[in-house]
Amino acid sequence: MHAERAPDSATADYFHEIFEPTARAITGLERALEAVGLLDEALALDLRRPQDYFGRVWSTAFRAADLAEPPKIEEGDAA
């Protein structure tokens, strides 16, 4: 949202860089929710402010840094 309203591309790039870890964490959380069958329910919520929903999950069940990492594929796991 801040990047979209930035006065120039350098400022927009700065905002994208600052919020990139959060974007990776949200992607990881979406993968985790999908794995347990809760992604559709989460997406049905108004996610214009995803931190309102995801903040509680991050603080009680998942570490944001762990969610930003791609899942490890074990030998024999289906891709």
Residue found by looking up tokens 């289906």 in the block: 78
Alpha helix (H) residue ranges in the chain: 9-35, 39-44, 50-60, 64-68
| Proportion of the chain above pLDDT 90, given as a percent | 1
- pLDDT (tens digit per residue) in 10-29: 988 888 888 888 888 888 88
Are 22 and 68 a contacting pair, CB within 8 Å?
no
Comparing C-alpha atoms, which of 17, 19, 6 is closest to residue 51? 19
pTM above 0.75? no
Region label for 62, one of left (φ > 0), alpha (ψ between -120 and 50) or beta (otherwise): beta
